[in-house]
Amino acid sequence: MRAVVHDRYGAPHVLRVEEVERPVPQADEVLVRVRAATVSRTDCGFRSGVPFAMRLFTGLGGPKRRILGSDWAGEVEACGAAVTEFAGGDHVFGTRGFGGHAEFICVRESGRTAHMPTGATFEEAAAVCDGGLKALAALRRADLREGQRIVVYGASGAIGTAAVQLAKHFGADVTAVCDTRNLELARALGADAVVDYLQDDFTKNGETYDVVFDAVGKHSFRRCRGSLARRGTYVATDGLENLALGVWTACVGEKRVLFAMASATKSDVLFLKELIEKGKYRAVVDRSYPLEAVVEATRYVETGEKTGNVVLSLAGDRAG
């Protein structure tokens, strides 16, 4: 089968497509023919090996997992002997740490895998889990409740577009911060107010918020502390310093820092699927590339300019 592999850390050009052995499902696994998979910021971090601490998980001397790709959608090709939930030909989607940038992947039946939402395309389904699960984990950790006020900083990325929709679902008043070209998208996703960060600084508008969610790792607790209400929470998705701040603010002061660590379950995937089928959530797809254009796709992700998700298509579509 074709797969995107890398044998060393580095820039996007270390990625290449080559023939590798097709995986064989265990008794409790399904073999999925991948039709679409996302290229995410996480994939870029694993590939580059930066920050260096990441290599404690991916391999100090070189990548232990050659095939990236956490989030995917496709068709069940074969089932292990113990599988009862899925059958050949089923359209499924989900997330697994590695392996999605290939024509086939094996996933556990009990893992974060579900039947695709009714009416969704493979590309839309593949884009659900990356931002959706991370945003869901962050908002739950922040204990976001009905009537609270939240700022989503970086509201046009994969996590940000998900956070705006989920925060509205939880009944919060949402202010979305993004650039000029994505203001209308943020409104369409449900934001009550929008701020163009190229023109205005939300930390200087005199407003206070119960939660500030930095969905892109480009803000800081120090900069937005004055915008947090009493006992407000700054939720970070990046930056090792925020781990230390989380410990410090848990002991000192009323305002706290939380570092959002995703620990998604199958029920979380099913939760997002249900919201999609009710018309309350959608995954935003910016661009789709063929598998062979993975280097180009990765370079685009690393510009920081993508809106929502970038997808690799293995379904015959070769849209650019």
Tokens 């939720």 sit at which residue?
235
* Domains of the chain in sequence order: 2-128+283-313 (3.90.180.10), 131-259 (3.40.50.720)
Cis amide bond preceding 51, omega within 30: yes
For the beta sheet containing 149-153, the strands, ordered from the edge strand earlier in sequence to the opposite edge, are: 193-196, 173-178, 149-153, 209-214, 228-236, 256-259
Diameter over CA atoms, the chain: 61
Only one residue has tokens 């309350």, namely 280
Residue 256, phi then psi, degrees to nearest 5: -125, 160
Name the pTM for this structure: 0.95
34, 314 Cβ separation under 8 angstroms: yes
- What are the structure tokens assigned to 319, written together? 């849209």
Residue 169 host element (H or E)? helix 158-169
The predicted pLDDT at position 250 comes to 81
* Torsion angle, alpha carbons of 260, 121, 161, 42, to 10: 40
Task: Tell me what pLDDT residue 242 has.
Answer: 80
Residue 288 sits at the vertex; the CA angle it makes with 66 and 11, to the nearest 5 degrees, is 40
Please report, for residues 13, 138, 147, 171, the alpha-carbon distance to residue 303 in angstroms, rounded to integers and kept in the order given. 15, 24, 35, 33
* Cα 245-60-216 angle, rounded to 5 deg: 40
Rounded to 5 degrees, what angle do the CA atoms 126, 127, 129 make? 90
10-residue mean pLDDT series, the chain (320 residues): 98 98 98 98 95 89 96 98 98 96 98 97 97 96 97 98 98 98 98 98 97 95 96 89 81 90 89 98 98 98 97 65
136 phi/psi in degrees, rounded to 5: -60, -45
Return the structure tokens found at 213: 């969610």
Amino acid in the structure at residue 201: D
Answer yes or no: are the C-beta atoms of 116 and 125 closer than 8 Å.
yes
- At 319 the pLDDT is 32
